[in-house]
Amino acid sequence: MEDVRDLKELQIDALREVANIGAGHAATALSQLTNRKIMISVPQINIVRLEEVPDLLGNPQDVVAAVLMHMLGDLTGRTLLLFPESVGRRVCDMLLRRPVGTTAVFEALEQSCLKEAGNILRGRTSTRSPTSWGCCCCRRCPASWWTSRPRCSPPPI
């Protein structure tokens, strides 16, 4: 089992490319699901300890919706998907087929919705990669939380 913190630069570049391709596939899947054009920015890959994530996020007053996903197997680690609060609300409205601007708070349904968006993104990425990586990765259900800055540990799963 290899820890992602031990990856070489070439392997990290390969992860970036897989994430970029996966994001494109996820945008297509979300577009088909919502009947809307979905634009996803090029994923940023930072290999850091979870405790170091808050320092990467910028202004500690900015609220973000976060979806934390675990990978277990030949490659272990976590994927953190971040949405600025307004984008998280808009994603919920689109996936739940509500008028944009309807989501006011992230209740259980909205949390589930963003976790599913994370599953779609991760699924579209990981289904394209295991054979090319020559490894096995198992996924666990994502966790989510909303805060002005993620704490040093995620919420209990």
Task: Give the pLDDT of the chain (157 residues) as one tens digit per residue.
Answer: 556 667 788 888 887 887 788 788 888 888 888 888 888 777 777 778 878 888 887 788 888 888 888 777 666 677 788 888 999 999 999 999 999 999 999 999 999 999 888 887 777 665 544 444 444 444 444 455 444 444 444 444 4
Collect all residues with Cβ–Cβ distance below 8 Å to 69 and sequence separation of at least 6. 78, 79, 80, 81, 118, 119, 122, 139, 140, 142
Tally Cβ neighbours within 10 Å of residue 151: 12
- Asked if 96 and 106 touch (Cβ cutoff 8 Å), the reply is no
Q: By C-alpha distance, which of 141, 142, 140, 145 is closest to 155?
A: 145
Please give the biggest Cα pair distance in the chain: 45
Structural domains of the chain in order of their starting residue, each with its CATH number: 2-146 (3.40.1550.10)
The structure's pTM equals 0.68
